[in-house]
Structure 1
Amino acid sequence: MHNRLIRAATRDGSIRAAACIATELVETARRCHETSPTATAALGRALIGTMFLGLNLKGEDTLTVRIFGDGPLGGIITQADANYSVRGYVQEPHVHLPPTSQGKLDVGRAVGKDGFIYVTKDLGLKEPYTGSSPLVSGEIAEDFAYFLHQSEQTPAVVALGVLIDRDHTCIAAGGYFIQAFPGAQEDTLAQLEKNIGEVPPVTNLIADGFQEVEILQKVFGNIPFEVLAEEDWRFLCRCGKERLEKILISLGPEELKDMLEKEQGAELRCHFCNKQYHFSREEIEALLEEIRSY
């Protein structure tokens, strides 16, 4: 298994695309958070969609997606960076709903469609930029596409899929992303729309052994395109003890003193990867001394 993403475009650059297979990435997220099948599908789709939105990040740029619907899963928060890393979590990872009448995981009802998607780009400027749009279905792919249409005023197609086995492991995950820009010919767009309507679900393609470029070949049909780049993405958190030390310091001396009076140390858990960090009494005392020396 691998987590490869390819970028492509038509020869005139008026239609840009990406496709990825992220089975291992989503399975890593599932193991980290011990998510239910419904939560795995929702988180997996959000992680892949965040990869697509983060394609133009550079340097230390980050992109954070927050999906808040009125369903029982609560919020879904994901983040991508320019180093081809993505991470994320769902607030209620153990929520699982009965399948839909079509026998599919009911992500839409679990997320809920009464809510918003927020996308924050931190490009190293004074203030990060945040855009938002209402959720249209809670199925996540449609919500990403609607956000792109609202924020960039360009039509986009986002297809995301996560296939879960009976033992709750992820056995296929991936998607494709198509965006049309000014200059795209109407007949080309019409043909592309027809092709997309005939493409099987992306998880079916992945389960059948299709590779990323073959997925795009199904989407483009006889429309010529070229692959521009290949990238290997991974589920990787940016947390570490030093980062969490800064969080403890930011709590201030009174909060740290309170910790010392009530506990022998502190346990901090990273939301993004579920990793737990222990700070001993001596370490907290050292942080307190550091604050006093400022």
Structure 2
Amino acid sequence: MSDYFIRALACNDTLRVIATVTTDTVSEAQRRHGTWPTATAAIGRTMTATMMMGAQMKGDETITVTLQGGGPIGAIVADADTKGNVRGYVTNPEVHFELNQKGKLDVARAVGSDGFLSVVKDLGLRENFTGRVPIVSGEIGDDFTYYFVKSEQIPSAVGVGVLVNPDHSVKASGGFLIQVLPGAEESVITRVEQRLSEIPPISRLIDEGRTADDLLDDLFPDHNYHILEKEPVRFRCTCSKEKFGQSIARLGASEIQTMIEEDHGADATCRFCKNNYHFTEADLEAMLH
């Protein structure tokens, strides 16, 4: 498997770590939505970070993340489960700018910084867990880091990156998540911070052929970690004709009757995967009865 994540504990079990490669997964999102390079980087970073958050959860729990920073890209939405399945979309996929002063895709300009990062976790309870923090930079990795610190009170470091080819295809994508657990010594935190300041950008490492296993070695060259699990990562949508049919049925009899008389059917397109579902007049009449 080319795309996968590793969940591990490091530094004598005082750090929780996830490392992942998501190149093919983000490529699938780019293909389905036709995103331009800056938009591809934005949706790829968001999907990668959301997937890593989902990997921390349990059982059938799911997570949905929305970034709305007031920039030209509009909203970025991604959701994921605990098994590496992730999907996402942006409101305006055809967004691209010249490279920023650091020679990178100008994701912050596309996202904006006047808005919020919102997280909804479906934990299988009566009510979902929700959290929201202001967007601090629009670079996405910084914004997820801020979310963990402010909303969940967990000191964290989130690194996500996407490289895009001139033909708009995805060259490399991936990320890491490091979280400080109770009992971590200050010297451990200092050592990790120093290491993060030394290693190249995560997307460049992946472009050079580094796997998720290799990324763990890059982050912890002393190999003071042990792996808890590995899971494949993939773009996977949970939409279906049945689900869209249920949504149409909830519109009510008069609305469905109008579809039959005026449109002679109905079409629904999933925002996440762009799959289209057609409902014939017979389908709609069955809903009425």
Cα contact 1:188–1:223 (8 A) shared by 2: no
Partner of 2:249: 249
> Cα deviations across residues 68-120 of structure 1 (Å, max 9, x unaligned)?
11100000010001342101100001122222123211100100011100000
Is 1:36 aligned with 2:32? Answer: no
Partner of 2:111: 111
What is the Cα deviation at residue 261 of structure 1? 2.1
Q: How many residues align?
A: 289
Which TM-score applies when normalising by structure 2?
0.97
Q: How does 1:150-189 map to 2 (within 5 A)?
A: 150-189=150-189
CA distance in 2, matches of 1:16, 1:223: 14
Partner of 2:238: 238
Identity within the alignment, %: 43
Q: Structure 2: which amino acid aligns with 1:91?
A: T
What is the Cα deviation at residue 122 of structure 1? 0.8
Is 1:203 aligned with 2:197? Answer: no
CA distance in 1, matches of 2:213, 2:59: 27
What is the Cα deviation at residue 189 of structure 1? 0.9
Structure 2 residue runs of 5 or longer lacking an equivalent are none
CA distance in 2, matches of 1:144, 1:279: 40
Is 1:19 aligned with 2:12? Answer: no
Cα contact 2:65–2:118 (8 A) shared by 1: yes
Cα contact 1:237–1:272 (8 A) shared by 2: yes
Is 1:7 aligned with 2:7? Answer: yes
What is the Cα deviation at residue 226 of structure 1? 1.2
The RMSD of aligned alpha carbons is 1.2
Partner of 1:94: 94
Cα contact 2:11–2:188 (8 A) shared by 1: no
Partner of 1:140: 140
Is 1:280 aligned with 2:277? Answer: no
CA distance in 2, matches of 1:60, 1:278: 30
What is the Cα deviation at residue 59 of structure 1? 3.2
Partner of 2:193: 193
Partner of 1:292: none
SS in 1 for 2:255: helix
Q: Structure 1: which amino acid aligns with 2:137?
A: S
What is the Cα deviation at residue 223 of structure 1? 6.1
SS in 1 for 2:117: strand
What is the Cα deviation at residue 11 of structure 1? 5.4
Is 1:217 aligned with 2:209? Answer: no
Q: How does 1:121-132 map to 2 (within 5 A)?
A: 121-132=121-132
